[in-house]
Structure 1
Amino acid sequence: MTHDQQPVRHFEVELPAELPAAPRPRDFLEGFLGQSPNPPATEDPVREAVIAALRDIFDPEIPVNIYDLGLIYAVEVADGHVTITMTLTTPHCPVAESMPAEVELRVLAVPGVATCDVNLVWDPPWNPSSMSDEARLELGML
């Protein structure tokens, strides 16, 4: 054995009979961001279903859904009528004319929603601080 070589050492490790399940990525993300992996039950299941539908709509230029991107300012539900107040990343966005119509169609497809109004506003203007922590993490900004 030369001077710079070290002897090989062998270690034995005893593993438990049953290993715990690995955490799911979403559980890890929620734990990492300091959120509860089991949020409390919501008071309005229609509103939550509308938000889920909004999370299925993605900005064509940024790979994040419009809800987590912070483009949705308000979701109001009353007796089957939904009012969405939203913005876009810029008034010159290529989907400025089509996005509100897509939002309306997706929301109207939610069970329990009879009518929907989508209000597109420019004040306050969107900025990256409007994004959720999950969106920031997805874009490598966290």
Structure 2
Amino acid sequence: MEEYNDTQNLGEKIVKTLKGIYDPEIPVDIYELGLIYDVMINTDDEVKILMTLTSPNCPVAESLPREVEEKVRKVDGIKDVEVEITFDPPWSKDLMSEEAKLELGML
């Protein structure tokens, strides 16, 4: 049970970190924007983040995944981070949280 709590706490720290990273073209963090598909933490505290971009031609295609990796790597307790980009499924506005839609005036 203690291991679960540690993983859960680590997961919460990672999500908090992700909510501090913004797409420079959209004033919403990448987590609420729906760019983060999955955060996986193994028993060795190694993290894999599956994410997408708003489009394959996104101007931050090089820098945003690197920023995610660098910032998550700084979370206390993480031993390694891998960020994988996918376009399956492609990002759409439907993936945005209600909070993000409200912030962008879409509700």
| Structure 2 counterpart of 1:94 | 59
Tell me the CA shift for residue 80 of structure 1.
1.2
TM-score (norm 2): 0.91
User: Which runs of 5 or more residues in structure 1 are unaligned?
Assistant: 1-41
What letter corresponds to residue 24 of structure 2 in structure 1?
P
The whole-number CA distance in structure 2 between the counterparts of 1:77 and 1:106 is 16
Spell out the pairing of 1:35-50 with structure 2 (5 A cutoff). Answer: 43=5, 44-50=8-14
User: Which runs of 5 or more residues in structure 2 are unaligned?
Assistant: none
The whole-number CA distance in structure 1 between the counterparts of 2:78 and 2:32 is 22
The whole-number CA distance in structure 2 between the counterparts of 1:81 and 1:64 is 27
TM-score (norm 1): 0.69
Larger of the two Rg values belongs to structure: 1
Confirm or deny that 1:112 pairs with 2:57: no
The structure 1 segments of at least 4 consecutive aligned residues displaced by more than 6 Å after TM superposition are none
Q: Which one of 36, 48, 70 corresponds to residue 83 of structure 1?
A: 48
SS in 2 for 1:124: coil
| Structure 1 counterpart of 2:95 | 130
Aligned length: 101
The whole-number CA distance in structure 1 between the counterparts of 2:52 and 2:9 is 24
Task: Compute the RMSD of aligned alpha carbons.
Answer: 1.1
Residue identity (%): 52
SS in 1 for 2:81: strand
What letter corresponds to residue 10 of structure 2 in structure 1?
V
